[in-house]
Homo-oligomer: A and B are copies of this chain.
Amino acid sequence: MATGRTHRPATRSRGIPEATVARLPLYLRALTALSERSVPTVSSEELAAAAGVNSAKLRKDFSYLGSYGTRGVGYDVEYLVYQISRELGLTQDWPVAIVGIGNLGAALANYGGFASRGFRVAALIDADPAMAGTPVAGIPVQHTDDLDRIISDNGVSIGVITTPPGAAQQVCDRLVAAGVTSILNFAPTVLSVPDGVDVRKVDLSIELQILAFHEQRKAGEEAAADGTAAPAADEPAPPVRATPTNRKGPEGDMPAVMPA
């Protein structure tokens, strides 16, 4: 999953822990599903199961919002949907701009989950002049030169970056200069932003690498359980240390450096 806000060192926003905020959308989704099935009330146990979390955690999370439950009964679904929506700021309209209309940018523009919940794709921006005017998902692509004006005119405060990594920081700087204060970054780059600007990153490559780590570990454990000798790759750090004059891996030659 994409993780980690940058800057603003874990300040509790209005007393609501960051971890709780990250789970509210999950609860909201489960509650919306219940609401569509016209379920009037739900217990913490049921809702927690639907959201895939511990029921105690869910109750504690809700306790930060206020006392919205009824003991012996549970939570009123409609009321809770409204309260969480309000808390997350989804009762207002959020115009969003997507910068970098390649495969991913176009896919996001077409993504249905965007339009619902108060988020509206207000503008698509790309650096390629040939794309200017071409409609993507029914919205004409505009050129980067007009970025500043586009952001201002539409009152965009949330920007989505889907550019190649090399362009990400520059685009980010321009977005921030134009007034954007929240950025969702899909480019595999560490963005640096001034205080007061929130950045969240979604990084496919990182997610896969984390999965690979656990996958390798599972394979190693399995082999150990089979009584097979553990693979060399799973052994502790080798005694041979690399020095500037001795650059070799423990098992001989160093493999070719992998591309980014």
A202-B207, A213-B13, A249-B82 are known contacts. Are A76 and B107 too (CB-CB below 8 A)? no
Contact, CB under 8 Å: B87 / A213:
yes
Complex partner residue of A82 from B21, B116, B218, B254, CB under 8 angstroms: B254
A125 within 8 A of B: no
Q: Which of A28-68 contact B (CB under 8 A)?
A: 28-30, 32-33, 35-36, 40-41, 50-52, 65-68
Q: Does A204 contact B (CB under 8 A)?
A: yes
Range for the number of chain A residues in contact with chain B: 35 or more
A122 within 8 A of B: no
Minimum CB–CB distance for A187 against chain B, Å: 10
Q: A66 vs B238: C-alpha distance in the bound complex, in angstroms? A: 9
Which of A145-153, A170-178, A192-200 touches B?
A192-200
**Nearest-neighbor residue (CB-CB) of A259 within chain B:** B116
Question: Which of chain B's residues has its CB closest to A13's CB?
Answer: B217
Contact, CB under 8 Å: A116 / B202: no
Minimum CB–CB distance from A230 to chain B (whole Å) comes to 11
Main DSSP-derived SS at the A contact region: mixed
The quantity of this chain's copies bound in the complex is 2
**Bound-complex Cα distance A190 to B196 (A):** 32
B-contact bits for A176-212, CB 8 A (1 contact / 0 none): 0000011110001010100010101111111111111
Closest Cβ neighbor of A102 among chain B residues: B107
A33 CB to closest chain B CB, in angstroms? 7
Binding site for B on A (CB under 8 A): 1-6, 8, 13-14, 21-22, 24-26, 28-30, 32-33, 35-36, 40-41, 50-52, 65-68, 70, 73, 76, 78-79, 81-83, 85-92, 94, 96, 102-104, 106-108, 110-111, 113-114, 116-119, 157-158, 181-184, 188, 190, 192, 196, 198, 200-218, 233-234, 236-237, 241-244, 247, 249, 254-255, 257-260
Identify 19 new A-B residue pairs, CB closer than 8 A, beyond the known A94-B208, A118-B212, A200-B210. Answer: A1-B200, A8-B214, A13-B214, A14-B217, A25-B206, A29-B260, A30-B190, A33-B260, A52-B192, A76-B242, A76-B243, A87-B213, A89-B217, A107-B107, A117-B205, A158-B215, A184-B211, A198-B215, A202-B204
27 A-B pairs with CB atoms under 8 Å apart are A1-B3, A1-B202, A2-B207, A3-B3, A13-B217, A21-B213, A22-B206, A26-B190, A32-B259, A33-B260, A36-B260, A73-B244, A76-B242, A78-B242, A81-B258, A82-B254, A88-B212, A88-B216, A89-B233, A94-B215, A103-B111, A104-B107, A108-B204, A117-B259, A181-B215, A183-B211, A198-B214
